[in-house]
Chains A and B, each alone.
Chain A
Amino acid sequence: MLMTDANAESVGLTPILIVDDDVEDVHFIKRAFKKNKVENPLFSVLSGEEALEFLQRSEHEHASYPGLMLLDLNMPGVGGMETLQRIKRHEEWRKIPVVVFTTSKAQEDIDTSYRLGANSFISKPFGLEGLVGVVANICQYWFSVSALPSTSNE
């Protein structure tokens, strides 16, 4: 299931992909992006498999790869770690900045995520206010401070 909040204004902006099996969390995260006035199209998928399908489809349709991906770890089926590993081993997909965004605070999850090539590891904060702040930080870093890698699929 692919959900998109893309609208007319966001056409042309690099999409953001949220991978999280928890629909409520997806809802909260999208809300936090909107609070931060992020106009990039927000896509969300509910599993690792769907995330990989999303990237394959982008490849086939010569569409833009996501300019940013938020990846939950604890998902049924192809979990966050495996999804991360497959993305970071892919010749093209590996350029997509992946922020592991999870409730876990466990050191081993942090270590494994970075070892598999995560660009950042952030624990889901408690409360919406915190979430808005965290999303603001993510956006500021990935859309302003860091030079965005070329994600278009020419």
Chain B
Amino acid sequence: MIVTRFDRRRSSAPALMLLLAAALGSVLAVSLAVYSAVWASAPLVIAIIAIGIAARLHVRTDHKLIALREVLDASPSGILCVDTQGVIQYANPTACAIFCYTVDSLVGTSVEDLIPFDIRARHPQLRSSFLKERRSRRMGEGRDIRGVTRDGLEIPLEIGLTFLGEGDNALIIVGVIDIRALKEAQEIINRQNTNLARSVRELEQFAFAASHDLREPLRKVMNYIEILQEDYEAVVDDDGKAVLNSMGGAVQRMEGLLDSLLNYSRITTKAQPFEAVPLNSILADVLEDMSLAISDAQAKIEVGALPVVLGDRNQLRQLFQNLISNSLKYHREDVRSHVHIHARNDSAPNDDKSLCCIAVSDNGIGFDNRYNELIFDVFKRLHGRDKYQGTGMGLAICRKIVERHEGFIVANGQPQQGAVFSIWLKQLKAR
């Protein structure tokens, strides 16, 4: 059996080199496809390009062979060439480092030395069936692949396999990536995600408990203020009565804030499962609920044909109610309020094609577009309380509802012209 050794002293096999280059290119391409997003892929790209160029140059001279050899040696992926007997014929420095061998000390050893003990015995059989099958592929197909270092330590690996040559001269080319760092990073991310989810849950529960429990003593303060106002009317002078009035006002404002906070936290703590929701029926309900406010404002509300979306009926109702109330509230003086709710073809900020766009536009006082993100913040108000009432939670609740639906809400304002709120929600079927 003739085995072409591939090392620095005897670099004299141009045809094999060429095949090797092509094979390694495909191994690396497999690896690259898998890890392009997480792995430092730039060196791999360079290596593949270099191998491709070397292959096209019809390597003839020792000079070019040495260049190719250097490319393989410099590869950030481990590369092993294994013959039909399982003997390692070439190992680049990265492969040696992964398995904790000194450079070139892997050559001549059995590839089975690198296989975990539990599968070592049946590995020769796997190897020969791969040679029969002759199909380049990733090893493991989704399962975790492990290797054993010289010190007996098992490490997680990503492995791509390809082959070259025929019969007894065939070689299996093994691309190896050490994914220990990746696994560790994944574990850290998983741990942090778990912690984050717990923090969010705790915060939601805290907001719920706080807003619920804080209302109790506040309710009593309010009652005592009223008792003072009624039973002690004769003994409290006018200044005292003014103070009691202010106290009552402040307490009621705080009650409003706690109520909004409670509603806000309920979006996640009291969420209902999603169902098919025809937005036109939602809008019909909302307009009926708001009929008094709409006729008081003499507003004109137009609703176009709207899609059926996937969502929480009650929350979507609240979403549109908040937006329409907002439009009515921030109307321009001496201009009749006109609110238009219609479907649009605008693509979502993330280009997700399953999201459909619904716009709520009005001809109200609008806002400076500089604030188009700020207005969604909790308790954020653009106007003084003396001018417009409210707790500054309406739009924050809207955003939270839309985010729970994995959609988007974007505001666009023009001072003294009006505002447009574009909402993207998961569409269920064509209109």
Quick one: which of A106, A107, A124 contacts B219, CB cutoff 8 A?
A124
Question: CB-defined interface of A11-38 with B at 8 Å, one 1/0 digit per residue?
Answer: 0000000000000110010010000000
Q: Give chain B interface residues in 152-183, CB to chain A under 8 Å.
A: none
Question: CB-defined interface of B207-235 with A at 8 Å, one 1/0 digit per residue?
Answer: 00000100110011011001100100000
> Which residues of B lie under 8 Å from residue A24 when comparing CB positions?
220, 223
> Which residues of A lie under 8 Å from residue B220 when comparing CB positions?
24-25, 28
Question: CB-defined interface of A45-76 with B at 8 Å, one 1/0 digit per residue?
Answer: 00000000000000000000000000000000
> Which residues of A lie under 8 Å from residue B215 when comparing CB positions?
103, 126
In the complex, are the beta carbons of A126 and B222 less than 8 A apart?
A: yes
> Which residues of A lie under 8 Å from residue B222 when comparing CB positions?
126-128
In the complex, are the beta carbons of A128 and B226 less than 8 A apart?
A: yes
Whether A131 is near chain B, meaning CB under 8 Å from some CB there, is yes
In the complex, are the beta carbons of A127 and B226 less than 8 A apart?
A: yes
Q: Give chain B interface residues in 259-279, CB to chain A under 8 Å.
A: 270
CA distance A28 to B212 in the complex (A): 20
> Which residues of B lie under 8 Å from residue A106 when comparing CB positions?
270
> Which residues of B lie under 8 Å from residue A154 when comparing CB positions?
none
Q: Tell me the nearest residue of chain A to B259, going by C-beta.
A: A126
Whether A91 is near chain B, meaning CB under 8 Å from some CB there, is no
In the complex, are the beta carbons of B216 and A128 less than 8 A apart?
A: no
In the complex, are the beta carbons of A129 and B219 less than 8 A apart?
A: no
CA distance A24 to B221 in the complex (A): 11
Whether B255 is near chain A, meaning CB under 8 Å from some CB there, is yes
Q: Which of B220, B223, B252 has the most CB of A within 10 A?
A: B223
The interface size of chain A toward B, counting residues with CB under 8 Å, comes to 13
In the complex, are the beta carbons of B216 and A131 less than 8 A apart?
A: no
CA distance A126 to B216 in the complex (A): 9
Closest Cβ–Cβ distance, residue A120 to chain B (whole Å): 20
CA distance A123 to B219 in the complex (A): 12
CA distance A107 to B271 in the complex (A): 12
Closest Cβ–Cβ distance, residue A128 to chain B (whole Å): 4
CA distance A6 to B410 in the complex (A): 62
Quick one: which of B212, B216, B223, B270 contacts A127, CB cutoff 8 A?
B223
Question: CB-defined interface of A129-144 with B at 8 Å, one 1/0 digit per residue?
Answer: 1010000000000000
CA distance A25 to B219 in the complex (A): 10
In the complex, are the beta carbons of B226 and A129 less than 8 A apart?
A: yes
Q: Which of A28, A124, A126 has the most CB of B within 10 A?
A: A126
CA distance A107 to B227 in the complex (A): 31
Q: Tell me the nearest residue of chain B to A74, going by C-beta.
A: B216
Closest Cβ–Cβ distance, residue A47 to chain B (whole Å): 18
Question: CB-defined interface of B331-359 with A at 8 Å, one 1/0 digit per residue?
Answer: 00000000000000000000000000000
> Which residues of A lie under 8 Å from residue B219 when comparing CB positions?
103, 124, 126-127
Q: Tell me the nearest residue of chain A to B272, going by C-beta.
A: A107
> Which residues of B lie under 8 Å from residue A103 when comparing CB positions?
212, 215-216, 219
CA distance A28 to B215 in the complex (A): 16
CA distance A99 to B230 in the complex (A): 27
Q: Tell me the nearest residue of chain B to A127, going by C-beta.
A: B222
In the complex, are the beta carbons of A126 and B226 less than 8 A apart?
A: no
> Which residues of B lie under 8 Å from residue A126 when comparing CB positions?
215, 219, 222, 252, 255
Closest Cβ–Cβ distance, residue A130 to chain B (whole Å): 9
Closest Cβ–Cβ distance, residue B151 to chain A (whole Å): 59
Closest Cβ–Cβ distance, residue A55 to chain B (whole Å): 28
Q: Give chain A interface residues in 85-102, CB to chain B under 8 Å.
A: none
Closest Cβ–Cβ distance, residue A135 to chain B (whole Å): 13
CA distance A127 to B224 in the complex (A): 9
> Which residues of A lie under 8 Å from residue B216 when comparing CB positions?
103
Q: Tell me the nearest residue of chain B to A124, going by C-beta.
A: B219
CA distance A111 to B223 in the complex (A): 29
> Which residues of A lie under 8 Å from residue B227 when comparing CB positions?
31, 128
CA distance A7 to B164 in the complex (A): 107
CA distance A25 to B215 in the complex (A): 13
Question: CB-defined interface of B82-113 with A at 8 Å, one 1/0 digit per residue?
Answer: 00000000000000000000000000000000
> Which residues of B lie under 8 Å from residue A25 when comparing CB positions?
220
CA distance A124 to B222 in the complex (A): 13
> Which residues of B lie under 8 Å from residue A31 when comparing CB positions?
227
Q: Tell me the nearest residue of chain B to A32, going by C-beta.
A: B223
Question: CB-defined interface of B349-375 with A at 8 Å, one 1/0 digit per residue?
Answer: 000000000000000000000000000
> Which residues of B lie under 8 Å from residue A127 when comparing CB positions?
219, 222-223, 226, 252
Top-4 shortest CB links A-B: A128-B226, A127-B222, A128-B223, A28-B223
Could you list 25 examples of A-B contacts with CB < 8 Å? A24-B220, A24-B223, A25-B220, A28-B220, A28-B223, A103-B215, A103-B216, A103-B219, A106-B270, A107-B270, A126-B215, A126-B219, A126-B222, A126-B252, A126-B255, A127-B222, A127-B223, A127-B226, A128-B222, A128-B223, A128-B226, A128-B227, A128-B230, A129-B226, A131-B223
Interface residues of A (CB under 8 A from B): 24-25, 28, 31, 103, 106-107, 124, 126-129, 131
Extra contacts besides A24-B220, A127-B219, A128-B227 (12): CB < 8 Å: A25-B220, A28-B220, A103-B212, A103-B215, A103-B216, A103-B219, A126-B215, A126-B255, A127-B226, A128-B222, A128-B223, A128-B226
Interface residues of B (CB under 8 A from A): 212, 215-216, 219-220, 222-223, 226-227, 230, 252, 255, 270
